[in-house]
Amino acid sequence: MRATTYLLITILLMHLITLTNIIIFNGDWNGIVMAINTILFVLAFGLVIPLKHKKVIDD
């Protein structure tokens, strides 16, 4: 998959988790949601940077 696909999937997951927290849990789990979103953000860039580096080498 392309790097942008990984980033878009990550953004979608982050928004769905936040929306679920607001609608279902009335914002009670803000700390857990923030931790999950931070982990997803770091993992997404951990996947994207090697893909970008590989693309530069292949070109």
pLDDT tens track for 7-48: 999 999 999 999 999 999 999 999 999 999 999 999 998 988
pLDDT band at 1 (very low <50, low <70, confident <90, very high): confident
What's the confidence (pLDDT) of residue 43?
93
Binning the chain into helix, strand and coil, the percentages to the nearest 5 are 85, 0, 15
Global pTM reads 0.81
